[in-house]
Amino acid sequence: MADPAISALNSLLRGTDIEDHAEALRLANDAIRSSPSAGPDLHAAQHTKVVALVKLDRYDDALRAISDGGDRLAQDCALENAYALYKTGNLDAAAAVCHDFCAKTPASAATRGARHVSAQVAYRAERFTDAARAYRELLDTVSREGRINEEGDLRINMLATAAQIEWAGAAHHLSESERQPSRQDMEAFETAYNAACGCVARGELQKAEVLLKRAKALCEASEDLNYEERQVELIPILVQHAYVLIRQGKLDEGAQLQNSISISDISDHSTKWVAQNNSLAQEQGSNPYMTARIAESIKPPTDNSRPFEYQAAVLRRNKEVIELQCQKFSGVRSRARTGLAREDASSAPDTSREASNLGVLHAAAVSHLQTGKEALRSILPLLESRPDDIGLLLTIIQLYIQTENPAPALSLLEALFRRLEAATTPDHADTRFSPGLVALAVALYRLQGRHAAVRAELSRAAMHWQQQSAAGGSDLRDGSALSLLRQAGIELLHSQDSSDLSTAGAAFSRLCEEQRDRLAEAGLVASFATSDPSRAQPYMADLTPVEKLTAGVDVSALLDAGVASLPSSTAATATGSRKRGAAAPADGAAPAKKPRRSRAKLPKDYDLEKKPDPERWLPLRDRSTYRPKGKKGKKKAAEATQGGIVKEEETLELVGGAGAVKVEKAPAGGAGAKKKKKGKK
- Whether the pLDDT of residue 635 is over 90: the answer is no
Helix (H, G, I), strand (E, B) or coil at 404: coil
Q: What is the pLDDT of residues 592-610, one digit of tens each?
A: 666 677 776 777 777 777 8
State residue 141 phi and psi, 5-degree precision.
-100, 10
Predicted confidence at residue 573, as pLDDT, reads 47
State residue 308 phi and psi, 5-degree precision.
-75, 170
Q: What is the pLDDT of residues 474-506, one digit of tens each?
A: 555 556 777 888 888 888 888 888 888 888 888
Predicted confidence at residue 341, as pLDDT, reads 82
Predicted confidence at residue 664, as pLDDT, reads 57
**DSSP letter string over 343-385?**
S-TTSPPP-SHHHHHHHHHHHHHHTTT--HHHHHHHHTTHHHH
Predicted confidence at residue 630, as pLDDT, reads 67
Q: What is the pLDDT of residues 75-93, one digit of tens each?
A: 888 889 999 999 998 999 9
- Whether the pLDDT of residue 234 is over 90: the answer is yes
- Whether the pLDDT of residue 180 is over 60: the answer is yes
State residue 680 phi and psi, 5-degree precision.
-100, 150
* CA 459 to each of CA 456, 486, 495: distance values in angstroms, whole numbers, following the listed order: 5, 11, 11
Q: What is the pLDDT of residues 187-218, one digit of tens each?
A: 899 999 999 999 999 889 999 999 999 999 99
Does residue 46 contact residue 65 with C-beta atoms inside 8 Å?
A: yes
Percent of all residues in the chain with a pLDDT value above 70, rounded to a whole number: 81
Pick the range with the lowest mean pLDDT from 96-100, 415-419, 575-579: 575-579
d(CA 260, CA 280) in angstroms, rounded, equals 15
Task: State the pLDDT confidence band at 591, using cuts at 50, 70 and 90.
Answer: low
Percent of all residues in the chain with a pLDDT value above 90, rounded to a whole number: 26
Q: What is the pLDDT of residues 382-419, one digit of tens each?
A: 988 888 889 999 999 999 999 999 999 999 999 999 99
Does residue 663 contact residue 649 with C-beta atoms inside 8 Å?
A: yes
Question: Which residue has better confidence, 163 or 657?
Answer: 163
Predicted confidence at residue 63, as pLDDT, reads 92
Give the domains, in start order, of the chain with CATH numbers. Answer: 179-261 (no CATH), 433-545 (1.25.40)
- Whether the pLDDT of residue 680 is over 60: the answer is no
